[in-house]
């Protein structure tokens, strides 16, 4: 039996690699924002809990 092996053209592979790199770059930009928002939420919750005892 013959097996059909389809190879992607080089341009498509290059574009997929560029899209993947763009996604990784975007994730690198978003993580600091997510961590900051999460930290602010935790501090706000702690302030609400312990601030009412003052």
pLDDT in tens, 27-41: 999 999 999 999 999
Q: Which position has the token pair 């574009």? A: 15
| CA pair distance 53, 47, nearest whole angstrom | 10
Rounded Cα distance, 32 and 15, in Å: 27
Q: What is the largest CA-CA distance in the chain?
A: 81
The predicted structure's pLDDT at residue 51:
85
Query: Using one digit for the tens of pLDDT, what is the confidence trace for 44-53?
Result: 999 998 887 7
The pLDDT value recorded for residue 9 is: 84
Return the ∠ at Cα 39 (arms to 38 and 40), rounded to 5°: 90
């Amino acid at each position: 039996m013959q097996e059909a092996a389809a190879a992607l053209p080089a341009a498509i592979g290059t574009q997929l690699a560029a899209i993947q790199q763009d996604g990784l770059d975007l994730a690198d930009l978003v993580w600091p924002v997510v961590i900051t928002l999460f930290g602010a939420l935790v501090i706000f919750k702690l302030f609400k809990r312990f601030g009412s005892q003052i």
